[in-house]
Amino acid sequence: MVTIKYNQPLTSYNTFRMDVIASSFCTVRTLDEVQELIVSDKLAGKQLLILGGGSNLLFCKDFDGMVIHVQNSGIRVLREDEDEVFVRVAAGENWHEFVLWCLEKGYGGIENLSLIPGTVGSSPIQNIGAYGVEVKDVFDSAELIDLKSAILYPIDREACRFGYRDSIFKQELKGKVMVWSVTFKLLKNPLIQLEYGAIREELNRMGRLNPGIKDVSDAVCNIRRSKLPDPNETGNAGSFFKNPTISAERSLLLKTAFPGLVSYQLPDGNVKLAAGWLIEQCRWKGIRRGDAGVHPKQALCIVNYGNATGSEILELAEDIQQSVLEQFDVLLDMEVNVI
Protein backbone atom coordinates (compact mmCIF):
# COMPACT_ATOMS: atom_id res chain seq x y z
CA MET A 1 0.00 0.00 0.00
CA VAL A 2 1.40 3.37 -1.06
CA THR A 3 1.19 6.11 1.55
CA ILE A 4 0.29 9.55 0.23
CA LYS A 5 1.58 12.56 2.15
CA TYR A 6 0.10 16.01 1.71
CA ASN A 7 1.84 19.40 1.86
CA GLN A 8 5.21 17.66 1.97
CA PRO A 9 8.30 19.90 2.36
CA LEU A 10 10.84 19.18 -0.39
CA THR A 11 13.89 20.90 1.08
CA SER A 12 15.70 17.63 1.72
CA TYR A 13 14.67 16.21 -1.67
CA ASN A 14 16.49 18.70 -3.91
CA THR A 15 20.18 19.57 -3.86
CA PHE A 16 19.51 23.30 -4.29
CA ARG A 17 17.76 23.06 -0.90
CA MET A 18 14.78 25.06 -2.13
CA ASP A 19 12.21 25.45 0.62
CA VAL A 20 9.11 24.45 -1.35
CA ILE A 21 6.13 22.17 -0.75
CA ALA A 22 4.51 19.43 -2.83
CA SER A 23 0.76 19.22 -2.51
CA SER A 24 1.02 15.39 -2.74
CA PHE A 25 4.01 13.11 -2.22
CA CYS A 26 4.69 9.38 -2.11
CA THR A 27 7.62 7.00 -2.13
CA VAL A 28 7.60 3.84 -4.26
CA ARG A 29 9.95 0.89 -3.74
CA THR A 30 8.32 -1.96 -5.66
CA LEU A 31 6.76 -2.42 -9.09
CA ASP A 32 3.50 -3.44 -7.43
CA GLU A 33 3.38 -0.13 -5.57
CA VAL A 34 3.87 1.87 -8.75
CA GLN A 35 1.27 -0.08 -10.68
CA GLU A 36 -1.19 0.14 -7.79
CA LEU A 37 -0.69 3.90 -7.71
CA ILE A 38 -1.24 4.29 -11.45
CA VAL A 39 -4.39 2.18 -11.70
CA SER A 40 -5.96 3.92 -8.70
CA ASP A 41 -7.59 7.32 -9.07
CA LYS A 42 -4.95 9.00 -6.93
CA LEU A 43 -3.10 10.43 -9.95
CA ALA A 44 -6.18 11.48 -11.89
CA GLY A 45 -5.86 15.04 -13.16
CA LYS A 46 -2.64 15.68 -11.26
CA GLN A 47 0.63 17.03 -12.54
CA LEU A 48 3.32 14.39 -11.92
CA LEU A 49 6.97 14.77 -11.02
CA ILE A 50 9.17 11.67 -10.89
CA LEU A 51 11.92 12.37 -8.38
CA GLY A 52 15.22 10.58 -7.90
CA GLY A 53 18.01 12.41 -6.09
CA GLY A 54 16.70 15.88 -6.97
CA SER A 55 20.17 16.85 -8.18
CA ASN A 56 19.12 18.46 -11.45
CA LEU A 57 16.08 20.46 -10.37
CA LEU A 58 15.42 24.09 -9.52
CA PHE A 59 12.09 24.66 -7.79
CA CYS A 60 10.87 28.23 -8.27
CA LYS A 61 7.56 27.65 -6.51
CA ASP A 62 5.56 25.03 -4.63
CA PHE A 63 4.65 21.98 -6.71
CA ASP A 64 0.90 21.66 -7.17
CA GLY A 65 0.79 17.99 -8.05
CA MET A 66 2.05 14.54 -7.10
CA VAL A 67 5.74 13.92 -6.50
CA ILE A 68 6.65 10.23 -6.88
CA HIS A 69 9.95 9.52 -5.15
CA VAL A 70 11.57 6.42 -6.69
CA GLN A 71 13.52 4.34 -4.16
CA ASN A 72 13.67 0.85 -5.60
CA SER A 73 16.98 -0.95 -5.15
CA GLY A 74 19.06 -3.81 -6.47
CA ILE A 75 22.03 -4.57 -8.73
CA ARG A 76 22.03 -7.78 -10.76
CA VAL A 77 24.43 -9.29 -13.31
CA LEU A 78 22.30 -10.50 -16.24
CA ARG A 79 24.97 -12.13 -18.37
CA GLU A 80 28.69 -11.97 -19.01
CA ASP A 81 31.53 -13.40 -21.06
CA GLU A 82 35.31 -12.99 -21.00
CA ASP A 83 35.16 -9.37 -22.13
CA GLU A 84 31.80 -7.85 -21.16
CA VAL A 85 29.25 -7.90 -18.37
CA PHE A 86 25.65 -6.70 -18.51
CA VAL A 87 24.39 -5.29 -15.21
CA ARG A 88 20.80 -4.31 -14.45
CA VAL A 89 20.52 -1.58 -11.81
CA ALA A 90 17.36 -0.32 -10.09
CA ALA A 91 16.51 3.30 -10.84
CA GLY A 92 16.56 4.26 -7.17
CA GLU A 93 20.18 3.23 -6.60
CA ASN A 94 22.62 6.06 -5.88
CA TRP A 95 24.77 6.69 -8.95
CA HIS A 96 28.13 7.06 -7.22
CA GLU A 97 27.47 4.02 -5.05
CA PHE A 98 26.94 2.07 -8.26
CA VAL A 99 30.25 3.42 -9.62
CA LEU A 100 31.99 2.20 -6.46
CA TRP A 101 30.34 -1.22 -6.86
CA CYS A 102 31.73 -1.45 -10.39
CA LEU A 103 35.21 -0.47 -9.22
CA GLU A 104 35.12 -3.20 -6.59
CA LYS A 105 34.15 -5.78 -9.24
CA GLY A 106 36.71 -4.49 -11.75
CA TYR A 107 34.05 -3.49 -14.29
CA GLY A 108 35.13 -0.53 -16.39
CA GLY A 109 33.27 2.11 -18.33
CA ILE A 110 31.83 4.57 -15.81
CA GLU A 111 34.88 5.48 -13.69
CA ASN A 112 35.06 8.89 -15.43
CA LEU A 113 31.51 9.53 -14.17
CA SER A 114 32.48 9.22 -10.51
CA LEU A 115 30.90 11.48 -7.88
CA ILE A 116 28.08 12.71 -10.12
CA PRO A 117 25.13 13.25 -7.78
CA GLY A 118 21.74 11.65 -8.36
CA THR A 119 20.29 8.24 -8.99
CA VAL A 120 20.77 5.61 -11.68
CA GLY A 121 17.27 6.21 -13.07
CA SER A 122 18.13 9.81 -13.88
CA SER A 123 21.34 8.95 -15.71
CA PRO A 124 19.85 8.13 -19.15
CA ILE A 125 17.28 10.93 -18.94
CA GLN A 126 20.02 13.54 -18.79
CA ASN A 127 22.59 11.37 -20.57
CA ILE A 128 24.98 12.37 -17.82
CA GLY A 129 28.57 12.87 -18.86
CA ALA A 130 31.97 13.99 -17.65
CA TYR A 131 35.61 13.82 -18.72
CA GLY A 132 34.97 12.40 -22.17
CA VAL A 133 32.39 9.76 -21.21
CA GLU A 134 28.59 9.79 -21.42
CA VAL A 135 26.05 7.27 -20.15
CA LYS A 136 25.08 6.46 -23.75
CA ASP A 137 28.56 4.91 -24.16
CA VAL A 138 27.71 2.14 -21.66
CA PHE A 139 23.92 2.07 -21.92
CA ASP A 140 22.36 -1.16 -23.15
CA SER A 141 18.66 -0.83 -22.32
CA ALA A 142 16.17 0.30 -19.71
CA GLU A 143 12.84 -0.78 -18.26
CA LEU A 144 10.13 1.88 -18.36
CA ILE A 145 6.74 2.10 -16.70
CA ASP A 146 4.00 3.76 -18.73
CA LEU A 147 2.37 6.25 -16.38
CA LYS A 148 -1.07 5.74 -17.94
CA SER A 149 -1.28 1.99 -18.53
CA ALA A 150 1.14 0.89 -15.75
CA ILE A 151 2.77 -1.48 -18.26
CA LEU A 152 6.47 -2.25 -17.80
CA TYR A 153 8.33 -2.40 -21.11
CA PRO A 154 11.92 -2.25 -22.41
CA ILE A 155 13.66 0.39 -24.49
CA ASP A 156 16.99 -0.08 -26.27
CA ARG A 157 19.86 2.32 -26.81
CA GLU A 158 18.93 3.41 -30.30
CA ALA A 159 15.34 4.23 -29.32
CA CYS A 160 16.58 6.55 -26.57
CA ARG A 161 17.95 9.02 -29.16
CA PHE A 162 20.73 10.18 -26.90
CA GLY A 163 22.27 13.59 -27.47
CA TYR A 164 24.40 15.99 -25.47
CA ARG A 165 22.60 16.08 -22.08
CA ASP A 166 19.50 14.99 -23.95
CA SER A 167 17.37 11.93 -24.69
CA ILE A 168 13.87 10.90 -25.70
CA PHE A 169 12.99 11.06 -21.98
CA LYS A 170 13.35 14.85 -22.10
CA GLN A 171 11.40 15.05 -25.36
CA GLU A 172 8.51 12.79 -26.50
CA LEU A 173 8.46 10.65 -23.35
CA LYS A 174 8.71 13.52 -20.88
CA GLY A 175 6.05 13.08 -18.19
CA LYS A 176 4.82 9.86 -19.79
CA VAL A 177 7.13 7.21 -18.34
CA MET A 178 9.12 6.32 -15.26
CA VAL A 179 12.55 4.74 -15.60
CA TRP A 180 12.45 1.63 -13.42
CA SER A 181 15.84 0.06 -14.17
CA VAL A 182 18.85 0.56 -16.42
CA THR A 183 21.09 -2.14 -17.91
CA PHE A 184 24.71 -1.22 -18.57
CA LYS A 185 27.30 -2.94 -20.76
CA LEU A 186 30.61 -2.78 -18.90
CA LEU A 187 34.10 -4.04 -19.70
CA LYS A 188 36.14 -6.62 -17.83
CA ASN A 189 39.27 -5.37 -19.60
CA PRO A 190 38.68 -1.64 -19.27
CA LEU A 191 39.87 0.96 -21.73
CA ILE A 192 41.28 3.84 -19.70
CA GLN A 193 40.24 7.28 -20.98
CA LEU A 194 42.55 10.09 -19.88
CA GLU A 195 42.40 12.60 -22.71
CA TYR A 196 39.72 14.93 -21.42
CA GLY A 197 40.16 17.62 -18.81
CA ALA A 198 42.84 17.40 -16.14
CA ILE A 199 42.68 13.65 -15.42
CA ARG A 200 46.17 12.81 -16.68
CA GLU A 201 47.67 15.80 -14.85
CA GLU A 202 45.94 14.78 -11.62
CA LEU A 203 47.10 11.17 -11.97
CA ASN A 204 50.69 12.38 -12.40
CA ARG A 205 50.32 14.53 -9.31
CA MET A 206 49.04 11.46 -7.43
CA GLY A 207 51.98 9.37 -8.67
CA ARG A 208 49.71 6.91 -10.51
CA LEU A 209 51.82 6.30 -13.61
CA ASN A 210 50.07 3.09 -14.75
CA PRO A 211 46.49 3.90 -13.77
CA GLY A 212 43.60 1.49 -13.51
CA ILE A 213 39.92 2.33 -13.23
CA LYS A 214 40.16 2.93 -9.47
CA ASP A 215 42.97 5.44 -10.06
CA VAL A 216 40.92 7.25 -12.69
CA SER A 217 37.95 7.40 -10.34
CA ASP A 218 40.12 8.78 -7.54
CA ALA A 219 41.51 11.45 -9.88
CA VAL A 220 38.04 12.45 -11.06
CA CYS A 221 36.80 12.67 -7.46
CA ASN A 222 39.77 14.85 -6.51
CA ILE A 223 39.13 17.20 -9.42
CA ARG A 224 35.41 17.45 -8.76
CA ARG A 225 35.91 18.09 -5.05
CA SER A 226 38.44 20.82 -5.78
CA LYS A 227 36.12 22.65 -8.18
CA LEU A 228 32.54 21.94 -7.14
CA PRO A 229 30.83 22.56 -3.79
CA ASP A 230 29.38 19.66 -1.82
CA PRO A 231 25.56 19.92 -2.17
CA ASN A 232 25.26 18.69 1.42
CA GLU A 233 27.00 21.89 2.50
CA THR A 234 26.09 24.43 -0.21
CA GLY A 235 22.96 24.13 -2.29
CA ASN A 236 23.70 23.56 -5.97
CA ALA A 237 22.98 21.30 -8.94
CA GLY A 238 26.49 21.05 -10.35
CA SER A 239 26.84 22.51 -13.83
CA PHE A 240 23.93 24.86 -14.42
CA PHE A 241 24.55 25.36 -18.15
CA LYS A 242 25.43 23.11 -21.06
CA ASN A 243 28.61 23.66 -23.04
CA PRO A 244 27.35 25.26 -26.27
CA THR A 245 28.10 23.75 -29.69
CA ILE A 246 28.80 25.98 -32.69
CA SER A 247 30.08 25.53 -36.23
CA ALA A 248 33.78 25.42 -36.99
CA GLU A 249 33.41 28.64 -39.00
CA ARG A 250 31.89 30.53 -36.09
CA SER A 251 34.54 29.10 -33.81
CA LEU A 252 37.29 30.54 -36.01
CA LEU A 253 35.66 33.97 -35.94
CA LEU A 254 35.33 33.87 -32.16
CA LYS A 255 38.92 32.65 -31.82
CA THR A 256 40.09 35.63 -33.84
CA ALA A 257 38.19 38.04 -31.59
CA PHE A 258 38.98 36.15 -28.39
CA PRO A 259 42.34 34.31 -28.74
CA GLY A 260 41.97 32.64 -25.33
CA LEU A 261 38.71 30.93 -26.31
CA VAL A 262 38.51 27.44 -24.79
CA SER A 263 37.01 24.97 -27.28
CA TYR A 264 36.98 21.28 -28.20
CA GLN A 265 36.73 19.79 -31.69
CA LEU A 266 33.85 17.34 -32.08
CA PRO A 267 33.81 14.28 -34.38
CA ASP A 268 31.04 15.81 -36.51
CA GLY A 269 33.17 18.85 -37.33
CA ASN A 270 31.42 21.22 -34.96
CA VAL A 271 33.10 22.80 -31.97
CA LYS A 272 32.08 22.68 -28.31
CA LEU A 273 32.82 25.79 -26.25
CA ALA A 274 33.57 25.81 -22.54
CA ALA A 275 30.57 27.57 -21.00
CA GLY A 276 32.51 28.15 -17.78
CA TRP A 277 35.16 30.12 -19.68
CA LEU A 278 32.52 32.26 -21.41
CA ILE A 279 30.84 33.03 -18.08
CA GLU A 280 34.16 33.82 -16.44
CA GLN A 281 35.07 36.28 -19.21
CA CYS A 282 31.82 38.09 -18.47
CA ARG A 283 33.07 38.51 -14.88
CA TRP A 284 30.39 36.42 -13.20
CA LYS A 285 32.71 34.04 -11.37
CA GLY A 286 32.38 34.56 -7.60
CA ILE A 287 29.55 37.10 -7.93
CA ARG A 288 27.00 36.96 -5.14
CA ARG A 289 23.53 38.50 -4.93
CA GLY A 290 22.21 37.93 -1.47
CA ASP A 291 22.25 34.15 -1.05
CA ALA A 292 22.33 33.43 -4.81
CA GLY A 293 25.77 33.34 -6.37
CA VAL A 294 28.25 31.94 -8.86
CA HIS A 295 30.77 29.61 -7.27
CA PRO A 296 34.23 31.20 -6.92
CA LYS A 297 36.02 28.08 -8.20
CA GLN A 298 33.67 27.04 -11.02
CA ALA A 299 31.73 29.60 -13.02
CA LEU A 300 29.38 26.89 -14.37
CA CYS A 301 27.99 26.31 -10.89
CA ILE A 302 25.28 28.56 -9.46
CA VAL A 303 24.84 28.13 -5.72
CA ASN A 304 22.36 28.77 -2.93
CA TYR A 305 24.34 30.07 0.03
CA GLY A 306 21.43 29.60 2.39
CA ASN A 307 18.08 31.21 1.78
CA ALA A 308 17.98 32.08 -1.91
CA THR A 309 14.68 31.42 -3.66
CA GLY A 310 14.41 29.54 -6.91
CA SER A 311 13.32 32.74 -8.63
CA GLU A 312 16.48 34.50 -7.44
CA ILE A 313 18.65 31.66 -8.74
CA LEU A 314 16.79 31.71 -12.06
CA GLU A 315 17.09 35.49 -12.40
CA LEU A 316 20.85 35.24 -11.87
CA ALA A 317 21.06 32.47 -14.48
CA GLU A 318 19.08 34.49 -17.01
CA ASP A 319 21.32 37.53 -16.47
CA ILE A 320 24.36 35.32 -17.10
CA GLN A 321 22.77 34.03 -20.30
CA GLN A 322 22.10 37.56 -21.48
CA SER A 323 25.61 38.84 -20.84
CA VAL A 324 27.23 35.86 -22.62
CA LEU A 325 24.86 36.38 -25.56
CA GLU A 326 25.76 40.08 -25.75
CA GLN A 327 29.52 39.55 -25.55
CA PHE A 328 29.95 36.36 -27.59
CA ASP A 329 26.66 35.99 -29.52
CA VAL A 330 26.36 32.53 -27.97
CA LEU A 331 23.22 31.38 -26.14
CA LEU A 332 23.79 29.16 -23.12
CA ASP A 333 21.13 26.50 -22.57
CA MET A 334 20.29 25.56 -19.00
CA GLU A 335 21.16 22.02 -17.99
CA VAL A 336 19.03 22.23 -14.85
CA ASN A 337 15.28 21.55 -15.09
CA VAL A 338 13.28 24.50 -13.81
CA ILE A 339 10.02 23.60 -12.05
Backbone angles phi, psi at 210, to 5 degrees: -125, 70
Question: Across the strands, what pairs with 293?
Answer: 288, 303
**Positive/negative CA dihedral, 121, 123, 125, 126:** positive
Backbone angles phi, psi at 301, to 5 degrees: -105, 115
Q: Side-chain half-sphere of 96: how many Cα atoms within 13 Å?
A: 12
* Residue 60 CA, distance from chain mean position: 19
What is the enclosing helix (H) or strand (E) of 272?
strand 271-273
165: annotated active-site residue: yes
> Diameter of the chain by CA atoms?
63
* Residue 242 CA, distance from chain mean position: 11
Q: Is 7 helix (H, G, I), strand (E, B) or coil?
A: strand
Please, are residues 56 and 239 in contact by the beta-carbon 8 Å criterion? Answer: no
Helix axes 213-227, 199-206, angle to 10 degrees: 110
- 280 Cβ partners below 8 Å, 6+ apart? 299
Q: What is the DSSP letter of 336?
A: S
Nearest to 119 by CA among 178, 205, 185: 178
123: annotated active-site residue: no
263: annotated active-site residue: no
Question: Across the strands, what pairs with 337?
Answer: 57
Please, are residues 11 and 18 in contact by the beta-carbon 8 Å criterion? Answer: yes
Query: What are the angstrom distances between the C-alpha of 179 and each of 71, 72, 99, 152?
Result: 11, 11, 19, 10
What is the enclosing helix (H) or strand (E) of 216?
helix 213-227
Q: Name the active-site residue from 93, 165, 167, 224.
A: 165
Active site residues: 165, 239, 335
